[in-house]
Structure 1
């Protein structure tokens, strides 16, 4: 492949000047670059100028990693040594991420799990059936704002909704300034509204609980049966897990899409900016309180309490604000302890390495 062809292949995968500048020092050393499309037990499928390759991280990268966040994630651009004849590659480094959608990894440990990286737009998909949940939407919005990507709300299964105007009003009351699009993928209605986000080389991630219609949406947008679709459970409209892993693939119009498994229990990861973005209405009200350290309890001149009393702020939204604030504060305390332990471990490694290199007398 000549250089022009290489660049055009990479551009269809979302490559641009920003990443080219980050990669420049590696290019001088003769390395190639690829984009992660699938991860499975630390084996990675990636697309590159050499086509599709299976990649493994090098021992050096594994040794220097302090946690899961230092390993490649779906959507990442990685520095590789390609072995096209074997359809394999060694992954030496992960280029700095332009955006990343993270959540707390499942389990008791405090660890970041990167759901998708280098995303331009996040489609937050919510079904307009009995599983419609505004509080869950607030969680997704926090992490979407924190990710650095642009959130867009897609209300799916419009054909199952009897009170569409009320649902849209409910969403707009918590997703201030976020575009909201109503679709019925089953009937192919409203999908044209999503076209502006799906330009060639643009990366879109789909987030949402199980059964909200992500797989049906992908199949309609791609014009092919990319993803298996399961019926929702009888009785509560809750979906069964269809997607079991994160995967990046290309749509016919040149956009890249990352599908993710349904996340019913979405545990927050550190999200200062995201929290402010998701609750901008309450944050602005708080600035109008008489006291800077107002706890929005019984203090005089509390603008937040006044808004709840006059009905301009829903009490359930304020309660959600307090709950999520407490959750993030608790996580921050645990994360500080984890980082201190990781730093200690890192210096222990460096000390042991230095000792092993000392000449023996």
Structure 2
């Protein structure tokens, strides 16, 4: 067979398959349509039978006197039960409208219940975090109290070390730090960082960990600092001679940060001008240094000292000493930087050129370094002058 014949056969088979598929689809769709029609007919017949039964029951119940109220209640409830018992639901439009309105009401109730549950869940989450914070603070207080009792007995205080890891993990969570501050965690910090009854410092691990935690905490209000006494505990560590250098630096930074809002000091030094910085440095000097900077306490003394400094003393003058004296150190605090007398930029270094003599000396040094030989000796005996 030729290739054209093969292609024609393939086309015929494809057409036959399409025809079969279409015919099969038509048969199946027709069967489904008939089945639906049969179901609808059956439902209509059942509804007619139910209506006839209801009418007969109504006639029988109207004859009785006391059964009328119960029959009316059943009439209100039974139609909904019979309508909902069918698989595809009622076909009457009015009943469909009632069913849709009931469905909408049910969905609204579900939405309200979901919103209520969400609110309750949020409340549960907040209460869980509050319980966690309260439990942790109670455990930390108990550990601090037990360590003090152990220290009084002369035993090693290790209760705080056992709680420290858990406390550190919870205190470093940024979303709980504000809640910790509101719950009064600074009072617990004061108990942990305060010295023991025998005046010894707490463990170095505890001091280092809690100073780092305090540096990562948000800004603390001044009233909270005063009420908790954490500032005194940090100052005690800052001034203690046995405290490490790193912890002193951390404590100093905390004290500096906490004291600025109290004394209304600006924290941004880049925004201050040069004159403001100089005036601030001068105001922070103590009174003795200010007097020494001014040259004395009275103007008469200043004039006398200035005159004596200008005119050197000679033999026979008052105040002349006939021997050498040890120079006394100056007690002045140099705040104002003196101005430059020259405008030359020192950072730019200029290279000087070499003179003729320097070049000749450099050449002589190079020649001395070279190995000068009259005859080049070869081990193999090549290129030897005979």
Q: Is TM (by shorter chain) over 0.5?
A: no
Q: Whose strand fraction is larger, Structure 1's or Structure 2's? A: 1
Specify the structure having the higher radius of gyration (Cα): 2
Q: Which bin holds the TM-score, normalised by the shorter protein?
A: under 0.3
TM-score, normalised to structure 2, is 0.17
Structure showing the higher helix proportion among its residues: 2
Structure scoring higher RCO (CA < 8 A, sep ≥ 6) equals: 1
TM-score by length of 1: 0.18
